[in-house]
A and B are shown apart, each in its own frame.
Chain A
Amino acid sequence: MAPHGDRVETLVDELRASRIDRRQFVMRAAALGLSGSAVSALLAACGGGGQEAAPPPPAATGAAASTGAAAAPPPEAAPQGGTLRIRLLNDVINLDPPFFPASADENSMYSVYEGLITYKPGTWEIVNQLAETFEPSADGLQFHFTLKQGIPFHGGYGELTADDVKFSFERTAGLSKPKIDSPYKGDWVALQEVKVAGKYEGTIVLKEVFAPIMATTLPVFSGWVVSKKAVEDRGKKYATNPIGTGPYEFVEWKPKQHVKLKKFADYGGASSDFIPAQWDEIVLVPIDEDNAADIALESGEIDFAQISLPSIDRWQKNGDYTVQKRTTLDYNWVGMNIENPKLKDVNVRQAIRYAIDVPSIIEAAFEGRWERASAILPPGMPIGYWKDAPIYERNLDKAKGFLAKAANPPTELEFRHAPETGAKETAEIVQANLADIGIKVTIKQLDSSAYYALEKKELRSRELMYVGYISSPDPWWSMEWFTCEQIDVWNWMYWCNDEFDRLNKEALKTTDQAKRNDLYIQAQKLWDEAVHTVWLAWPTYYFAGKKSLQPGLRLDGRILPSAFTTA
């Protein structure tokens, strides 16, 4: 190797181990004096080019506090201009943050709105955005902020002030007048008020400690700041005419055609340190059908798209495109209703756990592309990942042994599922697996709306089921659905454990992230002991984009349009 042989080797090892991303690799390699062709060759050797590019690791894990200006390095200088076209999985419907119906609306508005703090793209590191300073109190009940000055809203709606911050947060919380009822008011459930101390200064005051505020409230859309005047002026029309302070302003929404954003000429620069905003225009195109998205990408009508599992190979073989992979924070499992008489006996549930062949399910249902889950929280979750969680491999002898111990082993069970990715295949494999231990499984597919209708009678009658829930970057949003309060609502295994509830409550009111980490691991151990779940996978998103593109993605696969650059 060249003069810095050992350092180059270290660098290559870091890339292979995904401790650095391709961009960091190129920068550091250049600093070592390597030529462009040498860097390309190394990248190819490390699986670059048309191969899957692994995401960079989280920088900081759910920092409880971030004070002062963000210490983020400026983004690489990128050529300016042009139009970026990105696929949305479905059309947007409502662009007002408290009422986002789906991730498409949130993804579209990432470039339009800003919050006091945010996640630095590609990491879980929290950086200041609209806030010049942001200081949580030691007891976790107050968050004092000063705003960057001279930040204009789009559309001539004046300068951002602390009143807008107060209005935005209290509005979502349902504390403003007129009162709104946002589906996301749970993000601000602990908010008492936002005290305004001056034009650019204020304090968020909580009634009680709410640990996820720094992870799933303030850095994401519930923490985005809207223009009070624009919301009041536009009334119901605000839902499709949003006003923010971001680097891009909303131009138009043509239903079922596109959302168009253009660079905001008077941008105040709150995110300039970490969001490159190199495009003149961003067009977000709703394409429901995966084949249509593939064709649009291949014909050059869009630049970047989430792709279906069966098409990954094809895109990886195409040298003009790069495939990106992000494991989400979501979780899928086969659930057992422990209140059902057939499944009350833990021996029966143990038998089922040992009889189910999870790797085969992942291969058949998810093309072998989703990461096998060992517990509810994935490694990408900023805290709470249970590294040593047991993995239960199929073992028919053990399964039959447990079944023999059961007082009244069932001979028949019903497996219910909704028409979701991989659910049918999962049901069929479970059916075949359980037949091997003498249990006949009947499969019943329900319409999605009926399956998620939360009708008590239907929920209680379930035996085995396929379930997939989505989550956010704080364990609270994964765990809260399985407390005793959630029986007959989202806790479909009907498992009620007081200790589990206590741990969850404690973790919610603890600001020490290390302690929270331990609490959530303990809670997962209790879950495992209850034997009502066969963990399947943490869903993984795949994206294909033109090779010239460096995509802007959050670690959990959320698309951040203004963070895209040319590679």
Chain B
Amino acid sequence: MLRYLLKRLAMTFAVVVLLMVFLSVLVHLIPGDPVKTILGPRSSEDLARTVRKEMGLDDPVSVQVWDFVTHAFRGDLGHDFVSQLPVTTLIGDQLPHTIVLAFSSLLLAILIGVPLGVYAATRPNSWADRLTGLVSISFITVPAYVAGLFLLIVFAVKLHVLPAIGAGDFSHPIDYLKHLALPSVALAVTWIGYFARLVRASMLEVMSANYIRTAHAFGLRERVVFYRYALKNAIIPTIAVLGVGLGSLMGGAVFVEVVFARPGLGSLVVDSIQTRNFPIVRGSVLVIALLFVLANLLADLSYRFLDPRIRVERTGS
């Protein structure tokens, strides 16, 4: 296990370094002069030169790459010339909102999607199974921003029970949760459907396994067979996709943040791309990628932890 952990950590490190290198040369790959875009039409050539120097764009590309990578490892992601603030400060302001949104959506998707899948699997081919199937597939096909608009119209405009925009303040938890409710549901909808289908399929596969038949033969109660023996194994593929799911939720958060005018890393990246504010783009994409890589690492490790067969196979090989 330790060897595997070290190997995975080394791979993760390599991915992060490669990503940093890519992000440092990104500004040279995309069309347009970021300095002129940031400064606008009324900027002088002198000012453009000053900003280019401050951003390090005058240096050779290799120096730019080295500077970014070494500074990033020290926690310095550069400086935003426009707001005069460190990029880490700007990201630090936004990141908690995105993390809370992504995790709450994931939690919601698990809490609703998994029981829905189990419920459908316990009644295969019944009208309840077909209905949950219909609901799940509908959920999968609904983009987060469409779900968001629908929820806004119902709960904010018509019923006036939940706020439409913003995120509230962490210092007022109830208010913050109220602001979180609609965006997290909107973001979770697709994954509720996906988890429901995944768990149903896994459950049905497991239910036809010999050890389940044996458990039935021993006269164990249906509930015990289902939840103690079948679900434990059927849930493993779901855990495997959690890492990918978290990454996808971070990406999907961009649309939800825009629709709900909610602060977050996604909307920060979108704004920064539009204005070619590449220090922020670079820093934000790096942070999102780190979270994605970390989530995948944890999913991989937990997968091995939960499924003894994998450990045995690896040890055997």
Contact = CB atoms under 8 A, between A and B. Distances in A.
Interface in A340-385: none
B85 interface: yes
Contact of A181 (B36, B44, B84): B44
B42 A287 contact: no
Interface in A85-113: 90-91, 93-94, 99, 101
A207 interface: no
Given A287-B261, A453-B33, A292 B46 contact: no
Interface in A177-217: 181-186
B32 A452 contact: yes
Contacts of B34: 449
Interface residues of A, number: 47
Contacts of A414: none
Nearest to B93: A255
A447 interface: yes
Nearest to B97: A256
A183 B41 CA distance: 8
B56 interface: no
Interface residues of B, number: 49
B263 interface: yes
B94 A256 contact: yes
Contact of B31 (A94, A299, A453): A453
A295 interface: yes
Given A184-B42, A255-B94, A295-B157, A449 B261 contact: no
Contact of B260 (A183, A292, A302): A292
Contact of B152 (A239, A285, A295, A453): A295
Interface in B201-231: none
Interface stretch (B10-18, B120-128, B159-167): B159-167
A184 B167 CA distance: 35
Nearest to B257: A256
Nearest to A490: B41
A298 interface: yes
Interface string B131-164: 0000000000000000001001100110010011
Contact of A454 (B33, B47, B153, B271): B33
Contacts of B282: none
B36 A453 contact: yes
Given A101-B40, A453-B32, A298 B261 contact: no
Contacts of B153: 295
A257 B163 CA distance: 13
Contacts of A455: 33
Contacts of B267: 256, 288
A447 B41 CA distance: 16
Given A181-B46, A301-B165, A450-B32, A256 B264 contact: yes
Nearest to A451: B32
Nearest to B268: A256
Given A237-B84, A448-B32, 4 more contacts: A181-B46, A301-B163, A449-B33, A453-B36
Interface of B: 30-34, 36-44, 46-47, 50, 82-85, 90, 93-94, 149, 152-153, 156-157, 160, 163-167, 258-264, 267-268, 270-271, 274-276
17 contacts: A91-B271, A183-B39, A255-B268, A256-B268, A257-B167, A287-B165, A288-B261, A292-B259, A292-B260, A295-B153, A298-B157, A449-B34, A449-B276, A450-B32, A453-B32, A481-B41, A490-B41
